[in-house]
Amino acid sequence: MREAPSIALIMALQDMGAKVRAYDPEGMEQAKDVLPNVAFCDGPYDCVEETDVAVIVTEWEQFRALDLAKLRDLMACPVIVDLRNIYRPEDMKNAGFAYTCVGRAPTHQPVGLYNRPAPAPSLSRQ
């Protein structure tokens, strides 16, 4: 665990000001000793809730079978960085994600990705 590439990635993201949440079905207990400033989550869906981006760093089969619509709807911004190429770019584009992977062209950036809709005006009378 101490030499896992994910450690350097997490530390670099934190150095840039990112708040990191993580989920790994096998390595979390060991990671907690090495990465004390990471919020460890109970599952992949908990991990992405209201996040700006999700980074896939592991190839566990569990990550290949995610409900992409649910994943997208939980995220603040549907952005995936796939460092293991477990998804096809076209599938991610069709699911509404901005998707970047290794060695392949990224998909589109959804319109309004960083511009959340304004709250609906109040219907109450003053």
- DSSP-derived letter for residue 44 is H
Domain-by-domain residue ranges, the chain? 5-101
Distance (Å, whole) CA 9 – CA 118: 34
Four-way CATH pick for 5-101: 3.40.50.720, 3.20.20.70, 3.90.79.10, 2.60.40.10: 3.40.50.720
Closest of 27, 81, 28, 19 to residue 53, by C-alpha: 81
pLDDT at 60: 86
pLDDT tens, per residue, the chain with 126 residues: 556 788 899 999 999 999 999 998 888 888 888 898 999 999 999 999 999 999 999 888 889 999 999 999 999 999 999 999 999 999 999 999 999 998 877 666 554 555 555 555 656 554
User: CA separation (Å) from 56 to 61, 79, 125?
Assistant: 12, 11, 48
Identify the H or E element spanning 80: strand 79-82
